[in-house]
Structure 1
């Protein structure tokens, strides 16, 4: 039996305004299907049918958080650079401008999960700082951290 080897991309989609001057708040209208179709369109437009043929069978979006705009994408190891390039060349999702930021690339889902949990903690700390809440303040952010950590840890290969 041959093992199918993957690469896991941890991607943050940062929303911004058209003039590029100010960053908007996150929009919860995105879903994993919309991210998958945007990456597919980006692969097709930038790498053509050959790129999609290489990446298409293995590309899946395993996780997306609308609160932090964090996504975990799985792709075959041999062609992960095509998917990585397609993600970084994205300019918009659902007609809204986003800047994709590939935070982490790993060979196992466990390392992607650990990086996602760490990034979520940092993102919540930034949100608390923007809201000028003390670090020990009990809020919905704590509930979000607990639920997102459980959801990320439940992901299976």
Structure 2
């Protein structure tokens, strides 16, 4: 891993939480992401409420942010994982409820498939809670066909933020 990349890369990060004050956790994570080394928050989506997918528990608050980052993808992942841990994230089992979940969706035009990180995110196209906020801030990244394919998944705009 080489640390900082030469020129900033546009990356998209999904944020979600469904334990504790999920709305506050997602908004706080946006502020912390904006302060990461060599990283600038470019855009943030609205907040959306969604039912858990392949899991039980309370509804999630979800969003997507666009950042310009000089961090290498694995460095960005490490920063995001540290943020999750600071928010009390535990991983007792797959798809467990969480205080904060941060996923790198896209990193420029890069493709990566390592044991720790897969880019583009392997399940993003099957999840309305990712595609709807991504389409809000990066409409050219999500086609109407992709949105139609997940239209059976309820996504509700959170209007009190």
Q: TM-score, normalised by structure 2?
A: 0.43
Q: Which has the higher strand share?
A: 2
Q: TM-score, normalised by structure 1?
A: 0.44
Q: Which has the higher helix share?
A: 1
Which protein is bigger by CA-based radius of gyration? 1
